[in-house]
């Protein structure tokens, strides 16, 4: 496991019709499939995701 947070940038499309938390889940799974994330990598903290995406902290925690 690495000690640094992985460089994942979540992009939220509010017009997509897909729930915000599901977009985060889907993007995390995609990053794993593409090798951007490896099993054991640390994800960004909830606070980092909230600051980067301007979404509700509870939504991030739900993901």
Q: What is the 3-state secondary structure (H, E, C) of 21-50?
A: HHHHHHHHHHHHHHCCCCCCCECCCHHHHH
What's residue 17's pLDDT?
Answer: 96
Decide if pLDDT at 1 tops 70: no
Rounded mean pLDDT of 49-55? 94
Decide if pLDDT at 19 tops 70: yes
Rounded mean pLDDT of 13-33? 96
Helix (H, G, I), strand (E, B) or coil at 58: helix
What's residue 60's pLDDT?
Answer: 95
Tokens 């903290």 -> residue:
45
* Domain regions of the chain by residue span: 1-63
The three-point CA angle 42-2-10 to 5° equals 30
């Amino acid at each position: 496991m690495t000690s640094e947070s992985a460089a994942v940038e979540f992009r939220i499309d509010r017009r997509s019709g897909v729930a915000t938390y599901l977009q985060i889940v889907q993007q995390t799974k995609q990053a794993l499939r593409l090798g951007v994330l490896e099993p054991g990598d640390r994800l960004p903290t909830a606070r980092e995701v909230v600051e980067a995406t301007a979404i509700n902290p509870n939504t991030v925690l739900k993901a």
